[in-house]
Amino acid sequence: MISVSNNQAITEMQLDLRKAARLIRKQITQRVRDYPLYINEGPGRDEASIQQITIGYQFDQSGWLAIIFDTRPQAKNDGEWNSYIEPNAIEFDEWHRAFSDLVENGSPINLILPDGTKRKLGKGTTVEQVAESIGITIRDALLQARDNGVFAGLPLAPNCSYVVEEHEGYFGWSDQVEAGPQSEQAYLDHLEGDVATKSEAGQVEHWVKVLERIASGKENESKWSFLASDHTIEQLEALGDQAIVPVLKFVRKWADQPEWEGDRPKRKLIELPMQRPTIDALMLVRNSSCRTPEVEKLLCQILQKSVQANSDRKLWGIMPLWTARCLSKLFDHYPELKQNESTNELVNRDEYLSKPSKKSQGD
């Protein structure tokens, strides 16, 4: 739920989605017209047929919309479009202004839907409700273009799919029937499976296996997959310190892998599936009070592996930094980390790697 400040005079913001719908239809037409003239700024090869058309958007941090043509042979809803926002985005500042005024000043949004229906979004409005209003507007414009043959001149694959996604995952839609859970709660139930019938040790094992699925990219099929890492970490946190060593062994397995696909000076760096669950796991460890020699040993192993994995990179992953934070917070004999803000490099890594592992005081 959106919380608002009551310190300023409240005014009302107008957000006319009829205007947005017209601009979206115009942009779709323009992108179709321009497609043969430019190198395709989207996933896949330029000369391949279009497997998926995605319209992505954002309104909470900034307001924009981007139409992405995906020509990968096995294109799917995996978020790859996020790497192609910059060359394809057009601004919708009014979305951001209206949302920001609601959040910061409590100004209600007088919303006009594309069919002329009027609604007022005020205190108690969720981010998801705003995302849905905009997302449905985009979806309907996309479907209208599809059904009116606007895309007919493009090199479409026979089973080309159409997708609308909000940048942070607050709304998602596809014209393809998706297998698997169709609601947030159904997806969380899917993650939990039969965990309630297991011992606490069995529950830890269950949730670490979920982290493994996330890291290996096997939890990306559902539109609710963005919930997986946070939910899993919450369950492990509730199980206490007994989860810390298994979690660190999970991180150690992935510590010698890069967190990004690509490196500078390339502009398009893709976050790999292992990045979020491993960093979330290290945050869990840092917030714990588990200071055993085994924990220290595992953290040192992770740091050594992750430093080696990043040593030849221009832009480092952040696993070395979060591992160093764990060591400094849990064990007194480690220094405060020094980070190169431009490259993410752990500057004083030798101070960590040269420390003899020893039992922390106060265990």
Whether residue 344 lies inside any domain: the answer is yes
Bridge partners of 110? 14, 120
pLDDT at position 271 over 80? yes
Residues 254 and 134 in one domain: no
Q: How confident is the model at residue 358 (pLDDT cuts 50, 70, 90)?
A: very low
Domain of residue 240, residue span: 184-353
Residues 30 and 170 in one domain: yes
Handedness of CA 202, 208, 209, 210 (dihedral sign): positive
pLDDT at position 59 over 50? yes
220 vs 91: CA distance, rounded Å: 28
Mean pLDDT lowest among 17-31, 76-90, 230-244: 76-90
Query: Which pair of structure tokens corresponds to residue 98?
Result: 């209206």
Handedness of CA 121, 127, 130, 133 (dihedral sign): negative
User: What is the enclosing helix (H) or strand (E) of 156?
Assistant: strand 156-166
Residue 348 CB burial class (10 angstroms; 0-12, 13-18, ≥19): middle
pLDDT at 210: 94
Residues 302 and 226 in one domain: yes
Which of 147, 174, 201 lies at the terminal end of a domain, its last residue? 174
Which of 124, 139, 174 lies at the terminal end of a domain, its last residue? 174
57 vs 40: CA distance, rounded Å: 19
Residues 116 and 147 in one domain: yes
Best-predicted range by mean pLDDT (110-119, 167-176, 267-276)? 110-119
pLDDT at position 4 over 70? no
Mean pLDDT lowest among 30-39, 198-207, 289-298: 30-39
Which of 174, 204, 230 lies at the terminal end of a domain, its last residue? 174
Whether residue 153 lies inside any domain: the answer is yes
Q: Is the peptide bond before 181 cis (omega within 30 degrees of 0)?
A: no
Residues 202 and 130 in one domain: no
Q: How confident is the model at residue 221 (pLDDT cuts 50, 70, 90)?
A: low
The alpha helices in the chain, defined as continuous H runs, are: 17-34, 93-105, 127-147, 184-192, 200-215, 228-238, 244-254, 275-286, 293-310, 319-330, 349-353
Question: For the segment 308-317, what is each residue's pLDDT rounded down to a tens digit?
Answer: 999 999 999 9
pLDDT at position 11 over 80? no
pLDDT at 2: 42
How many domains does the structure of the chain reveal?
2
Residues 18 and 107 in one domain: yes
pLDDT at position 181 over 80? no
Whether residue 349 lies inside any domain: the answer is yes
Residues 223 and 95 in one domain: no
Whether residue 1 lies inside any domain: the answer is no
Residues 299 and 318 in one domain: yes
Quickly list DSSP for 205-242: HHHHHHHHHHHTTTT-SSTTGGGHHHHHHHHHHHTGGG
Question: For the segment 119-161, what is each residue's pLDDT rounded down to a tens digit?
Answer: 999 888 888 899 999 999 999 999 999 999 999 999 999 989 9
Residues 162 and 188 in one domain: no
pLDDT at 262: 87
244 vs 250: CA distance, rounded Å: 10
What is the residue whose two structure tokens read 């980070």? 339
pLDDT at 357: 54
How large a percentage of the chain has pLDDT more than 90?
68
pLDDT at 183: 79
Residues 281 and 217 in one domain: yes
Question: What value does the mean pLDDT take over residues 27-52?
Answer: 88
Instruction: Please provide the distance, in angstroms rounded to a whole number, between the alpha carbons at the two ends of the chain.
Output: 41
Whether residue 6 lies inside any domain: the answer is no
Whether residue 362 lies inside any domain: the answer is no
Spatial contact of 352 and 327, defined as CB atoms under 8 Å apart: yes
What is the residue whose two structure tokens read 């989207």? 42
Q: Helices 244-254 and 293-310 sit at what angle, rounded to 10 degrees?
A: 20
Whether residue 198 lies inside any domain: the answer is yes
pLDDT at 359: 41
Q: How confident is the model at residue 166 (pLDDT cuts 50, 70, 90)?
A: very high
Nearest to 245 by CA among 281, 220, 198: 281
Whether residue 296 lies inside any domain: the answer is yes
Residues 106 and 31 in one domain: yes
pLDDT at 261: 87
CA 36 to chain centre: 31
Q: Angle 285-288-292 (CA atoms, 0-180°, nearest 5)?
A: 80
Residues 149 and 241 in one domain: no
